[in-house]
Each structure stands twice: as C-alpha cells, then as structure tokens.
Amino acid sequence: MSRSRPVVDGARRMRIANMIRQARLAAHLDQAQLAEELGVTPGAVGNWERCIARPDIDTIPRLCSILHLSVTDLLGLEPELTLTGDERDVVRLYRELNPFHQKTVLALLRQLEQNEADQRQEELRRSARPMRAVLGAAAGFGGPLDGEAPVKRPWSGVTFGIIPTPLPAP
C-alpha cells in the first residue's frame, strides 16, 4: 500500500514560504540563526523559503513560536468555531449576498446591538428606586436641640434619585 502526501497547491506552498521568510526577517534573524534555534540546518530553512521543502510537522509549532505566528495563520487555516445550525445558516446566507447587501446586514446587526444596549441602560435606569431623604436632628444639619421648637427646614422631604453609571460600550 503506497502512502501519498496530501496535495498542497503551489499557491499555498508559496504563501507559506513567503510567510516564513517575511516573519524571519521581521524577527531580525538570518537563516542560520533560525536554523540553530530550531535544531535544523540553514539549508533546510532556505529550502522552506524557496518552496523546495516544507517544515516537518514537529518543527511547525516551535517555528511559529519563534516567528510570532500562529499555526493557523501559517498554514492558512480558518479557526474552527462551534456554530449552531442557525448560525451556520446565517453565515451561509450572508456569504451568498452581494457586497452591498452584506454591508446592509452588518449595519442592521450593529443597530440591533445598539438598541439592546440602550434597552439595558433604560432597564437599569428604571430599576433605580428613588430614596426619600430622612434628615433628623444631627450635628451639622441644624436640627432642634432639647427644648427648642422644631423649625421647618427647606430641605426636609427632598427626594433624591439614584443615577446609574452608564455601562462601557462592548
């Protein structure tokens, strides 16, 4: 039984090679330095960058770590998301739309999100109960002393409300 390598198109291989080279240069490493850190030969790194060979599967995580790349980005994979059936339908339908309608859908979703945030703020505001100020005879309020007649103060019976602090935008 013959074992075959997975088919990787030339454009993907070239993209991987270019990404390795660009990330290596951005990290200010030459091929020999990168090779030393990975425990491979400088020729191996050169071959990766010229699309002659690919890094070994065991080398890829360390290579990505050194070059500050994610394995997903290097290999051009989309991250796996766990979507419900309805969510998959939304994504599928969105992708079938033309660019104008996609922008319209995004604008609608953003408006719905803002409406929900506004609604939460309003519910918070309504749930804050007003408090009646009870100002008794205490130091600093000028309340009557023993034997003095009570004096009607202009602030007695004032209603204070609790003002909720707005929530930060997500």
Instruction: Give the pLDDT of the chain (170 residues) as one tens digit per residue.
Output: 444 444 457 888 899 999 999 999 999 999 999 999 999 999 999 999 999 999 999 999 999 999 999 998 898 887 666 778 898 899 899 999 999 999 999 999 999 999 999 999 988 888 776 555 444 444 555 555 555 555 555 554 444 444 445 556 66
**For the packed helices 42-49 and 10-26, what is the interaxial angle rounded to 10 degrees?**
130
Whether residue 1 lies inside any domain: the answer is: no
Contact 54, 14 (CB under 8 A): no
Neighbouring CB atoms inside 10 A of 44's CB total: 19
Rounded to whole angstroms, what are the CA distances from 101 to 42, 84, 96?
Answer: 50, 23, 10
CATH of the domain at 20: 1.10.260.40
106 lies in the same domain as 63: no
Task: Assess whether 47 and 91 both reside in one domain.
Answer: no
- pTM of the full predicted structure? 0.44
What does DSSP assign to residue 128? S
Token output for 75: 């290999």
Integer CA distances (angstroms), 137 to 54, 152, 154, 156, 160, in order: 85, 12, 14, 11, 19
Cβ neighbours, 10 Å, residue 19:
18
Q: Which domain holds residue 99?
A: 85-127
